[in-house]
Amino acid sequence: MQNHAYSGRQLALPLASVFAAIILTIGTLLGSSGAANAQQTTASSDRIWHDLKGDVFGDRAILVDTGVVRIEAPKRAQDAAIVPVDIYLDPAKAPDGIKSVTLIIDANPAPVAATFQLGKDAGVTHLSTRVRVNDYSYLRAIAETQGGQLHMAQTFVKASGGCSAPAVKNQDEANATMGQMKLRQFPPKETMTKTEELQLMIRHPNNSGLQRDPLTQYFIPAHFVQKLSISQAGQPILSMEGGISISEDPNFRFDFTVHGNGEIQVEAIDTDGKTFRNQWPLETAGL
């Protein structure tokens, strides 16, 4: 699959190495003096974003709150490891179509949570996933139109209190079940439409790489789902390049426009180069 959105010079590096570099930097900070830092505020989150956006989008203009994209998340993260986030796209406000959405969590060790490429005729207007939120932070969704305009929406999330940490809860189980997938198909809410909702779940620890090997004391390399593509009848619906800010057992729920009766196919590739594939018949075939 082509990564047509990454034509800018700033993104000539594979996104994964950007993730890795940022993870390493923050990991070093946390390991030394970072632990003493106070929690982030809206202002400090904005400062992080100000420094970060050039690395992700170069010096391109970003339009804010135009209605092309909206983002919703709980005001306070309940479980730091599993924070639900909803992104809504309004095709009426972007007549030339939206080709991608990037999800940013300013204060996380890996701020670029994911970039989603949207299939040209996929009709995706709503996408929800779950992310880790390490600190008080803005969550930002930046949509790019086919014409190359950038539109942003943001919402501030307070980190969870108490002992909830953005880490894998049941590591042995996560390792043992890695690669399993589950797809749920929600039938159209109204008859005579060709829009249905899918929920894709993938078993994967999506580990941070900030853990040490108990024997060697070296950091264990980050291990996460790096690429994901979802298609139906051979037509791309959604693809993702993601990092460790996506929760363990990555979970995506989205609507799309059904094309014919072809099956739904999913391919996921993690940072160890493992490829996980699966396919399911369309339950609403014959619509």
Partner 1 sequence: MSIDRLRRRLVSGFACTAASAALLPCCLGRAVLAAGGSSRFSLRQIADGLFAFQGADELMTAANDGAICNLGAVVGTDAVAVIDSGGSLIEAQAFLAAIGKVTAKPVRFLVNTHMHPDHIFGNAAFREIGATIVGHRNLPRALDARGAFYLHNYREQLGEALMEGVEIVSPTMLVDDHLQLDLGGRMIELRAWKAAHTDNDLTVFDTVTRTLFAGDLVFMGSLPTLDGSLLGWLRQMDALTAIDAARVVPGHGPITADWPQALAGERRYFEVLARDIRKAIVDGTPLREAVKTAGESERDNWHLFDDYNERNATAAFAELEWE
* Residue numbers at the binding site for partner 1 (CB under 8 A): 30-31, 34-39, 74, 78-82, 84, 86, 128, 130, 134-135, 159-173, 177, 180, 182, 184, 186, 201, 203, 208, 210-212, 214, 247, 249, 251, 253
Contacts of 122 (CB under 8 A, 6+ apart): 235, 236, 237, 238, 256, 257
Per DSSP, 146 falls in state T
Nearer to partner 1, 100 or 129 (CB): 129
Gap between the Cα atoms of 100 and 59, Å rounded: 18
Shortest spacing between CB 121 and partner 1, in angstroms: 25
State the DSSP string of 37-91.
SPPP-HHHHHHHHHHHHHHHHTT--EEES-SSEEEE--SB-SSTT-EEEEEEE-G
DSSP state of 193: -
Of the pair 56, 133, the CB lying nearest partner 1 is at 133
CB of 32 to partner 1, least distance (A): 10
- Provide, rounded to whole angstroms, the least separation between the CB of residue 208 and partner 1: 7
The residue count for the chain:
287
In sequence order, the 6+-apart residues with CB closer than 8 A to the CB of 8 are 57, 58, 60
> Cβ closer to partner 1: 80 or 105?
80
CB of 114 to partner 1, least distance (A): 17
Q: Which is nearer to partner 1, 37 or 193 (CB)?
A: 37
- In whole angstroms, the minimum distance from the beta carbon of 264 to partner 1 comes to 17
Output the six-digit token pair for 195: 């829009």
Nearer to partner 1, 120 or 212 (CB): 212
For the CB of residue 232, give the shortest distance to partner 1 in the complex, in Å.
19
For residue 136, count CB atoms less than 10 angstroms from its CB and return exposed for 0-12, middle for 13-18, buried for 19 or more.
buried
CB 146, CB 119: distance < 8 Å: no
Our CB check for partner 1 shows the closer of 53 and 130 to be 130
